[in-house]
Structure 1
Amino acid sequence: MRAKRWASTAVLALTVLTLPGAAPGAPLSPAAAGTPAPAAVRNWPVPRPTVLRGWEPPPAPYARGHRGVDLAAPSGTPVRAVAPGRVSFAGRVAGRGVLSIELKNTGTPPLRTTYEPITPGVKKGAEVTAGQVVGTVTGPTPHCPRACLHWGLRRGDTYLNPLSLLNRVPSRLLPVLDVPLP
């Protein structure tokens, strides 16, 4: 009976340890998530987002890929800093408003988040706090099928999955009693 209980727990563990937005069955591990492992709690940059397109790291520095995530957000949606930091860029790139924030206490080189297309509400060099409104989403672009915020994350020249910054409640495995094995 005890072996059956532990086997059920193992099955449960394999089914629940996945990343939000990851493919079903994807393991929860820093390597799989592209986790940069900063120590602070993070927040979404827009309220109640839907991920329209996930992070697809390129196989080589200049190869095709998606170097961030697209979050559904209508034009005019406030964009918030996901963590405290300093604005390293606020301006236009390729005709779109872009904001880049270097995050505090995230190692060397520090992590840097980017948001586009937005109208920046802060200037280069400004100190920002987690949750502070730093701009607003501008109209739809050809990048997304509908209005969205492209949220990126880098450490130096390495692109990382920005979803790895989100505060996730750690999984707790409890024994599963009297559940038949599949």
Structure 2
Amino acid sequence: MKKHLLLATIQAIALVASLTSSPASVPTLPQTPTQMLRQESGWSWPTAGEPRILVPFDKPEQRWSSGHRGIDLSADQGDQIYAPNKGRVTFRSTVVDRPVIVIDHGSGFKTSLEPAESDLSVGTWVEAGSKIGTVSTGAHCSNRCLHWGVRLDGEYIDPALLIKDLRPSILLPLA
């Protein structure tokens, strides 16, 4: 809610400034509102650069229904994995056939990354962007991707929304 309010406030300030200034002196924001939210929130991709999303988030209709509770990012075995935000490692072990690492970011956010080999111990504090491991093999991502899941207060959300503004553009009238 705070992020939406901040975004709306920034957009309103930019609109008022553009309406009250002459065209030659319209102030420009150093970053887009989305970039400012991302910088403020501290979220970034868990891989180097901006990866291609191979399989998008597909929220199941019911908690027990099938779906895709995260996104699959293009990655090769051995690629570096970075903490998408600061937090504490709360789980690092093998689940069925794949190594998994979970980071609790606070404020109800938890990230899970798989298949992810890591030497970090449970309880280790990690900074946003710090190296936390490498892409391994296992499950549906073997030799092709890194699965990134994010839960907010126990409910899975689309991790890409923490990085990119995926909302449709809406044109507003000037008058």
Tell me the TM-score normalized by structure 2: 0.68
The number of residues matched between the two structures is 134
Correspondence for 1:165: 162
| Residue correspondence of structure 1 range 87-126 to structure 2 within 5 A | 87-104=89-106, 106=107, 110-126=108-124
Q: Please state if 1:69 is matched with 2:71.
A: yes
Correspondence for 1:154: 151
Correspondence for 1:135: 133
2: distance between equivalents of 1:174 and 1:155?
Answer: 31
Q: CA RMSD in A?
A: 2.8
Question: 1:44 is matched by which residue type in structure 2?
Answer: W
* Secondary structure in 1 matching 2:161: helix
* Secondary structure in 2 matching 1:143: helix
Report the identity percentage. Answer: 36
Partners of 1:97 and 1:117 within 8 A in 2: yes
Gaps of 5+ in 1: 1-36, 177-182
Tell me the TM-score normalized by structure 1: 0.65
Gaps of 5+ in 2: 1-37
Correspondence for 1:3: none
2: distance between equivalents of 1:153 and 1:95?
Answer: 20
Question: 1:111 is matched by which residue type in structure 2?
Answer: F
2: distance between equivalents of 1:157 and 1:102?
Answer: 11
Question: 2:99 is matched by which residue type in structure 1?
Answer: G
Greater than 3 Å deviation, 4+ residue runs: 171-176
2: distance between equivalents of 1:172 and 1:53?
Answer: 26
Q: Please state if 1:56 is matched with 2:54.
A: no
Structure 1 or 2: larger helix share? 2
Structure with larger RCO (C-alpha < 8 A, sep 6+)? 1
